[in-house]
Amino acid sequence: MRIGYYPGCSLEGSSKEYSDSLLAVAEKCGITLEEIKGWSCCGASAAHNLNHDLAIALPARTLALAENQQFAEILVPCAACYSRLATSKYEVTNNDTTRKRMESFLDLKFKGDVQILSVIEFLQKYIYPVADKYIVNKLNQKTACYYGCLLARPKEISTLEHTENPMEMEDVMAKAGATPIDWAFKTECCGAGLSVSRTDIVAKLSGKIIEDAADRGADSIVVACPMCHMNLDMRRPEIKKQLKKDINIPVLFITQALGLSMGISADKLGLNKHYVPTDKVTSCIVKKEA
């Protein structure tokens, strides 16, 4: 089956390593992802903050393109893009007036029958069943799985089983030979789109997340959203100032962690692109026992 790929803007820029590691893992497992031709930005928080129509129309354009290119499924790894695309699909398919209005803005017909996969669903559906064949290493560390907001909520969109205490990422990390920890901040907000305009708030919210993971002995934090990654990794100097302590837990994309367990090189997975050094992660890894 052809799977369409919507990288989104962050994965072409500041979170390129998320895309690189995802494609590397997919390639390893023999799965081809085909980029949707002509895709555009989902509008992110900016559009839904300022203009509801724009917030529905921008993702709908990409969905209509995916339909026209005959994709039955598309993978949207960025949690924020996923949320916007899924919300747009939800509104357009549940409301005829909205659909007609969007079609008039876009000059495109829209059925809304493309299945949108989050990175978690993609891993569950395509990687998880074959992973054992490719996993050669044991990550051998305590990991805090961080979902953030947009994979877990709202319930109309999320496919996770539990809103407050989802376990899907833990399943993947356990397969990769890590020990997922029980912690309190897995679905708390990192401060998201306020990263630039209110960095102080991001330092506060992300600081609580980092501190709880550290207090519970995590060696690493695993995420599935470029915005979360940026706030927890790149904003670490501001977080350290806020917490008044030096916490150096590295933050990995779930695809990087999985890639390491499959023996893909740290360079290929883009671990060198992070701000908080990742040696702590790589030094724990051992060969998987046969």
Partner 1 sequence: MHETTHQNHANTLKLQVEKSTGINVSHCYQCGKCTAGCPLNEEMDIMPNQILRMLQLELPGYEDKILSSLSIWLCLACDTCYSRCPQEVKLSQIMDFLRQESLRQNKVNPQAKDILKFHQAFLQSVKQNGKLHEVGLTIDYKLKTLNLMQDVFLAPSMFAKGKLSIFPHKVQNVKEIAKIFKKISDSTKV
Write out the residues near partner 1 by the rule CB under 8 A: 9-10, 12-16, 37-41, 43-55, 57-58, 61, 104-106, 149, 152-155, 163-164, 187-189, 191-194, 196-199, 201, 205, 234, 272-273, 275
Q: How far is the CB of 288 from partner 1 (least distance, A)?
A: 30
Kindly provide the residue ranges of all beta strands, DSSP E only, lying in 94-205, ordered along the sequence.
Answer: 115-117, 137-138, 142-145, 179-180
- Min dist. Cβ of residue 38 to partner 1 (A): 5
163 or 283: CB nearest partner 1: 163
| Residue with smaller CB distance to partner 1, 6 or 71 | 6
* Choice between 106 and 174, CB closer to partner 1: 106
Measure Cα distances from 102 to 68, 96, 206 in Å: 16, 10, 36
Q: How far is the CB of 263 from partner 1 (least distance, A)?
A: 23
Question: Edge-to-edge strand order for the sheet containing 142-145?
Answer: 179-180, 142-145, 220-223, 251-253
CB of 198 to partner 1, least distance (A): 7
Cβ pair 229, 18 in contact under 8 A = yes
Q: Of the two residues 201 and 247, which places its CB atom closer to partner 1 in the complex?
A: 201
Determine the angle formed by the axes of helices 52-68 and 96-106, rounding to 10 degrees. 80
Tokens 């397969």 belong to residue: 175
Residue number with CB closer to partner 1 (136 or 184): 184
Contacts of residue 234, Cβ cutoff 8 Å, sequence gap at least 6: 14, 275
